[in-house]
A = this chain, B = another copy of it.
Amino acid sequence: MATKELKRGVPNGRYKKLEAELCTELIAAQERLQKARFPTLIVLGGSADTSAASNALRRWMDSHSVAVCAFEPLSVEEREHPEYWRYWLSLPPKGTIGIYLNGWYDRPLRDLAHGRSDAAAFERAADRIAAFENALVVDGALLIKLWIHLDKEARQQRIAALEQNPLTRWRVTASAREGLQYYDEFKRAADCLLHKTHISGAHWQVVEGRDRHYPLVVGRAVRDAIGQHLAAKKNRPKPVSTGWSPAPNVLTELDMEKRVAKKEYQVLLERYQGRLYRLTQQARRKGVSSVLVFEGADAAGKGGIIQRLTAALDPCIYQIIQVAAPTAEERAQHYLWRFWRPLPPAGRMVIFDRSWYGRVLVERVEGFADKAAWQRAYGEINDFEQQLTDHGMVVAKYWIHIDKDEQLRRFKARQATPHKRWKITDEDWRNREKWDDYEAAVDDMVDRTHAIAAPWTLVEGNDKRFARLKVIKAFCQQLEQALASG
């Protein structure tokens, strides 16, 4: 592994002066960071006591924008979510710094060191780390990874010294003992894992932990990394978008004349709602969670479908997330962060009225996201949804489609009806002018993000009754299959 081993040692006596200089430089770096639009993540791992380094960093910097994160074994609540849910929730907002003590390395390292994971599981864990870090880095984050190395003998000496003194004995924690007892296993595991996660934009740097002033070396590495990243951002070439082959047209294949008569609708609705109720109660008992995504043209009827669907549910088990333009807090994070947050615990359901697909729909068509960003998004979305389905969650995506004439009919009807007039905005009319662009975006979206475990269902929405029945029936089928196989 081509890691950089940072310079050793600091002459005694000069320490305080160097520390003061470093302080000034780190504070200056933080000031520049505040205006920068990226988060800084510092991952500290190693065989030495990493909290000494993190305490030093907090002491030297303005602690108001530095958070320290340490993860324990998964809690009951955390187990109900995909593993990376808690890491996503912990991400520092843009302009601030998050220090991770081992972070997402802790679990794979322990599993491997204690022989709890086989080669395949280890590969998966390493790939997951690489994918996660890559997603952050490609979004502009600064990821600084420092491994503080202490050889076995030095570690033994340090622990022995602490233990001999009754005053300092308390510092020999259970974790420290475990690290010494399984030193060789941890070292082998770390060598493997660091090698596999030494990726572009997120290199590992090794710091020699024997040097008792090693926190200073850590501080300098942080200072330098921030400086380099800020400089690189200024000169960074615009990401290159790749050639794009448009997807086959799927929307024109739909039979938009499908209808359901009122009387038949009322009977079928009651039947499907009853089936849905029973299935969701079963899902709750079995701890199977569901995520539903609704996308569609303006006036397609997403809200009405959601209402008929939720009318059949125990109110305790679902939540509806109305997705609109991101808030200030959300803009300070990766675009997927605000969708990780509300993911449902075991047996519950979250319904997204609009979703992360905004990235490849409105943000693509209106240019809010540049071409490289939305081209990248399909893979990021697939990776995100795969983490959900790998965790056993049911993921169902619905595009509610109406044709152009039907939309115009509905727009006009809304404008003519006093109690529906509020639903029409100028934006709706502007979106309509880009109808063809949106159709192309939808074709690409379905083509690139449809998966057997996370399928798209295209819904012929011209007839509202037909659309409502189709969605509830389709979700019942998907949930039934999931419960049967689970």
**Which positions in A face B, CB cutoff 8 Å?**
20-21, 23-24, 27, 31, 51, 54-55, 58-59, 62-64, 67-68, 70-72, 75-77, 101, 167-171, 173, 175, 267, 270-271, 273-275, 277-278, 303, 307, 310-311, 314-316, 320, 322, 324, 327-329, 345, 417-420, 422
Contact = CB atoms under 8 A, between A and B. Distances in A.
A167 B316 contact: no
Given A24-B419, A75-B77, A167-B270, 19 more contacts: A20-B418, A20-B419, A21-B419, A54-B315, A55-B307, A55-B310, A58-B307, A59-B307, A63-B307, A63-B320, A68-B315, A68-B320, A70-B315, A77-B77, A170-B274, A170-B275, A327-B328, A328-B328, A329-B329
**The 4 A-B residue pairs with the shortest CB-CB distance in the complex, in nearest-first order:** A23-B419, A170-B274, A70-B315, A24-B419
Contacts of A24: 418-419
Given A77-B77, A315-B54, A315-B70, A27 B167 contact: no
Contacts of A72: 316
A24 B270 CA distance: 28
Contacts of A327: 328-329
B422 A170 contact: no
Contacts of A55: 307, 310-311
B170 A278 contact: yes
Instruction: Report how many copies the assembly holds.
Output: 2
A418 B28 CA distance: 10
Q: Is the interface of A mostly helix, strand, loop or mixed?
A: helix
A277 B170 contact: yes
A51 B315 contact: yes
A343 to B, nearest CB: 15
B167 A70 contact: no
Contact of A271 (B31, B167, B307, B311): B167
A313 to B, nearest CB: 9
B422 A316 contact: no
B267 A167 contact: yes
A273 B170 contact: yes
A451 to B, nearest CB: 29
A348 B367 CA distance: 45
A345 B419 CA distance: 46
A88 to B, nearest CB: 17
A169 B277 CA distance: 11
Contacts of A168: 270, 274
12 contacts: A20-B417, A20-B419, A54-B315, A63-B322, A64-B324, A68-B320, A70-B316, A71-B316, A75-B77, A76-B77, A167-B270, A327-B328
A328 B311 CA distance: 33
Contacts of A345: 75
A27 B419 contact: yes
A216 to B, nearest CB: 14
Contacts of A62: 422
Contacts of A315: 51, 54, 68, 70, 101
B324 A31 contact: no
Contacts of A20: 417-419
Contacts of A77: 75-77
Contacts of A63: 303, 307, 320, 322
Contacts of A310: 55
